[in-house]
Structure 1
Amino acid sequence: MAHRRAALQREAQHWLLRLTSGSATMHDATAFEHWCGQSPAHVEAFAQTRRLWENLGPAADAWMAAEQTRTAAPAPAPRAAALPRTQPRMSRRAFLGAAIAASAALVVLHPPLQLWPSLTDMVADYRTATGEQREIDLGHGVVVQMNTQTAINMRTSSDQAIGIELLGGEIQVKSTGARAAAVSVFAGNGRVDVGTMAKCNVRCDATDVQVTGLEGATTLRYQGQVAVLQTAQRAQYGEGGVGRVTPADIDAVMAWRRRVLIFDGQPLADVVREINRYRPGKVILANDALAQRKVQARFSLNQLADVAALIQDAYGAKVTSLPGGIVILS
C-alpha cells in the first residue's frame, strides 16, 4: 500500500512538472483528466502535490527549476508518451500566488481541472468567478450580462464601446434604447455583430462559439463565412466552420439569467460538464455507463452544493468527496 502511494505521488509530481513545462499539448490536458479519473487516490495525490507546492512558495520555484534542469526532457506521465511535435501547443498561463514574487511567477497552461483562474482571466477588464453573474452597462444603450467563469476585454473608440472580446465563458449582449449602438463580439477567431435594437447570447468554450439570437438580427462572421440569426435561432462556429442555423429554445438559453439550469435529454456527462461551470471544485465522472445516462432535470444554482447527492439518489452513483470541492462519481 505504501509503495502504491509513493508511486502515485511520483506520477502526480510528473504531472505537475509536465503541466508547468511550457511544452504540454491539448492531448496532455485530456490525458491528465483521464489520469485523475482513475481513482480518488489519483486526485488526492495531485491535490497534495499542488498544496505542497503552494505552501512552499519561493522554495517551490527552486525545486521546479532543479527538477526541470535535471530532467532536461521530463519523463512523460502515464498515457501521455511519445507525443508528436506537431501537436498544437496550448496557450501559456502564469499562476500568481501571494507567496511567489512576480519575477519568479511560474508559467502554466490551462489550470488543471480549472481549479483556479488563469492569468488571462485575472487581468481581463471584467471577469466573473465561479457561480458569479454580473451586469455591465457600457453606455450608449449597450448592456452586457456575464455568466459564471466569464472574462471579457473591451474595445473602445472615442470612449464608446465598439467591441467586446469574449476570452471565455458566456454573455448576453443587448443593444437597445433610444441611443442604442451596434456592437461586435470577438470570440474564437470570429465575430458576432449585434444589430441595433437587438439581443443575443454568446458562449465560448475553447474553440467553439455558440450564438443564439434573442431579439432582432445577429450576424456571425468566421473565416469568410456569414450567417444571420433572427429571434429564436442559433448557430455555432469553430474549426468546422459555421454550422447551420437551427431553431433555439429561448427559455432554456436564458435560464441562467434566472439562476436555473435546464436539461432535456442530455447525457449525464454533458450535465456534469455544465454543472462544473457553476460550482467550486470539480465533479469527475469515472463511470462510462453512467456518463451516457440521459437526464431530464431542472436545477436551481442554489442546489448545486447538493448535486452529487441528487445524482446518487437518481442513478445510484457511488460518491467520493475529496478536499477542495472535488467529487468522484462512479
Structure 2
Amino acid sequence: MGTTRIEESERQARAWLVHLTSGTATREDGEAFRRWCLSSEQHAEAFARARRMWEDLGPAIAAHTRPERGDHAPQRHRVRMGRRAFVTTAIGASVAAVLLARIDLDRVFRSGGVGRLRTAVGEQRRVDVVPGVTVEMNTATDIALRGTGKAVTGMRLRSGEAVVRIDASRKAGFVVDIGDATVASTPGSAVAVRCIDSESVVTCLDGQALLSLGSTESLVKPAQQVSFDARGIAAAVAVNPDTALAWRNRVLIYDNQPLAQVVADINRYRPGRIVITDRALGDRRVHARFTLDQMADVATLIQDAYGAHATHLPGGWVLLS
C-alpha cells in the first residue's frame, strides 16, 4: 500500500512539473500546487526528485543536441528538443501536458464597457472618477463604478486595493462596496480599501470613514486600520500609513512577516509566480524593503538572503525550497 502511495506521489509530481513548465499555468494553479506540496512530506520529496531531474536535463539536452565532430548535416535537418519536450518524453506517455485556455479578461471587461476600471499585474493608475473624487489603483485591481444614469456615486472594489480621496470642496460623500460591506467617506477624507482573497481591510489617511457590515458599524479614524471578513469586523488598530501604503511610492515594506505571506504579496506585482515548497522556509520571519523596480529580480534577492534553492521555470515561475 505504501508503495502505491509513493508511486502516486511521483506521478502527481511529474504531472505538476510538466504543467508548471508548459508556460500555461495560472496563478490559481500556483496556489493549488503550493497546497499540494505542503499537504504531505511525501509530495514535497517527490517533487524535489522531479525537479532535480529537470535541472539535470539541462546538460543532458545540451549534449543531446550538440553536433558530433565531423557532423556536417544541414542545420534545417537537425531536430532540436526543448527541455520541456525532453521532460515530457522522459516521464512517459502516461503524463501529458494539458494546455489550459486562458480567458482574456481585459477583452471581457472592455466588452462590459462602461463603468469598469482595472489595472494589470504590476500596473498602477490614478483616475479622476468624478469631479472631486480621485482613485489611486494598485496592481491587479478591479473596480466597478456605480451610480444613477451617468452620475457616479460610488464604486465596488471587486479585488485589489485603492486609495479613494474626496476633495473637501465636494458636497457629496462617496461610498465603496466591498463584498457585503460598505465604506462611506465624507468630503475631505482619504481612505485606502483592500480586498485580497477573503480578507478585506480599510485604512484611513485623512478625515474618517464609516464601515458597515450587516448591523455592525465601525468608525475608522486617521492612522487606523480595520480588517473584516464574513465573520465580522475586527477591532481598529493603529498603523503607520506611510508603511502600510508604501506601494503608493512604488515600495513594498514587510516587518516581521512570514516569508510565505511576503511572497504571496509580491506575486501580485510580477508576472508568473514564486512558490515556496518548503514549510520551514515559508514560516521564516522577514524584515524587508523592495522597490517595484526590483520585482524582476526579487526571487534571486530572496534566494540570496535566505539561502533558498531556486528553480526557474518558464513564464516567470520560480520554485523556492
Letter in 1 for 2:142: A
- Out of 140, 143, 155, which is 2:134 matched to? 143
Aligned-pair CA distance for 1:30: 6.1
Deviation at 1:303, TM superposition (A): 0.5
Which of structure 1's runs of 4+ aligned residues deviate more than 4 A?
3-6, 8-13, 28-32, 40-46, 116-124
Matched, 1:96 2:97: no
Q: How does 1:207-222 map to 2 (within 5 A)?
A: 207-222=198-213
Q: How far apart, in 2, do the equivalents of 1:171 and 1:122 lie?
A: 23
Normalization by structure 2: what TM-score?
Answer: 0.71
In 2, distance between residues paired with 1:254 and 1:152? 18
CA displacement at 1:118 relative to structure 2: 11
Q: Does 1:318 align with 2:275?
A: no
Structure 2 partner of 1:49? 97
Distance 2:215 2:273 in 1: 38
Q: How does 1:256-271 map to 2 (within 5 A)?
A: 256-271=247-262
Structure 2 spans left out of the alignment, 5+ residues:
1-6, 20-27, 39-43, 55-83, 89-95
- Tell me the amino acid that sits aligned with residue 318 of structure 2: V
1:204 corresponds to? 195
Residue 293 of structure 1, aligned match among 284, 293, 310: 284
Q: How does 1:150-299 map to 2 (within 5 A)?
A: 150-179=141-170, 181-299=172-290
Counterpart AA for 1:197: G
| Conservation of the 8 A alpha-carbon contact between 1:188 and 1:208 | no
- Please report how far the alpha carbon of residue 304 of structure 1 lies from its aligned counterpart in structure 2 after TM superposition: 1.2
Aligned residue pair count:
257
Q: Conserved in 2, the CA contact under 8 Å of 1:153 and 1:165?
A: yes
Q: Which residue is equivalent to 1:23?
A: none
CA RMSD of aligned residues (A): 3.4
TM norm structure 1: 0.69
SS of residue matched to 1:277: helix
Structure 2 matches for 1:105-124, cutoff 5 A? Answer: 123=112
Q: d(CA) in 1 for partners of 2:125 and 2:237?
A: 29
Cα deviation, 1:91-135, whole Å, max 9, x if unaligned, reads xxxx436xxxxxxxxxxxxxxxxxx88967985711110000011
Aligned position for 1:18: none
Superposed displacement of residue 229, structure 1: 0.7
- Distance change (3 Å), C-alpha of 1:259 and 1:180: farther
Is the 2:34–2:277 Cα contact (8 Å) retained in structure 1?
Answer: no
> Higher mean Cα deviation, 263-272 or 177-186?
177-186
1:132 aligns with 2:123: yes
**C-alpha separation in 1, matches of 2:223 and 2:109:** 32
- Residue 312 of structure 2 contacts residue 319 of structure 2 at CA under 8 Å; is this kept in 1? yes
More helix by share: 2
Q: Deviations over 1:254-276 (max 9, x none)?
A: 21010000011111111101100
SS in 2 for 1:289: helix
Contact 1:188 1:206 in 2 (8 A): no
Percent of aligned positions that are identical: 38
CA distance in 2, matches of 1:5, 1:247: 46
Larger relative contact order (C-alpha < 8 A, sep ≥ 6)?
2
Write the distance in 2 (CA, Å) between the matches of 1:120 and 1:138. 17
Check conservation: 2:15, 2:97, Cα contact below 8 A. Answer: no
d(CA) in 2 for partners of 1:53, 1:184: 38
2:296 is paired with a residue whose SS is helix
Q: Deviation at 1:142?
A: 0.5
The one-letter code matched in structure 2 to 1:35 is W
